[in-house]
């Protein structure tokens, strides 16, 4: 694995995997509180959120940032 990929926490993870992990970890209600976007708060589904996030770079960035912070916290807690 190249140095660039080793330091990228999103390498090898697609948006659907990220969203599924966040929903499993937080649930829709908490996810909607942490990232206040309509697709998380109003009749949420994986497919509708994926459609929105793929078209909306600022929202996708917020989701990816939460994923990175959550994974780091989970790794830290497991030590």
Q: Which domains does the chain have, with CATH numbers?
A: 14-77 (1.10.720.30)
pLDDT of residue 79: 76
* Average pLDDT of the residues of the chain: 92
Q: Is the pLDDT of residue 1 over 70?
A: no
| Mean pLDDT of the 50-73 span | 96
pTM of the model: 0.88
Cβ(29)–Cβ(20) below 8 Å: no
> To which residue do tokens 């509708």 refer?
48
Look at phi and psi of residue 27 and say left if phi exceeds 0, alpha if psi is from -120 to 50, else beta.
Answer: left
Cβ(18)–Cβ(67) below 8 Å: yes
pLDDT of residue 3: 57
pLDDT of residue 25: 96
- What distance in Å separates the CA atoms of residue 7 and residue 78, rounded to the nearest whole number? 20
- What distance in Å separates the CA atoms of residue 4 and residue 54, rounded to the nearest whole number? 24
Q: What is the pLDDT of residues 5-22, one digit of tens each?
A: 667 889 899 999 999 999
């Amino acid at each position: 694995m190249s140095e660039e990929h080793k330091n990228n926490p999103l390498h090898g993870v697609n948006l659907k995997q990220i969203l599924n992990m966040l929903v499993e970890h937080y649930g829709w209600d908490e996810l909607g509180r942490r990232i206040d976007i309509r697709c998380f708060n109003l009749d949420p589904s994986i497919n509708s959120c994926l459609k929105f996030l793929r078209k909306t770079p600022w929202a996708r960035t917020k989701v990816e940032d939460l994923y990175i912070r959550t994974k780091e916290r989970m790794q830290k807690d497991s030590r």
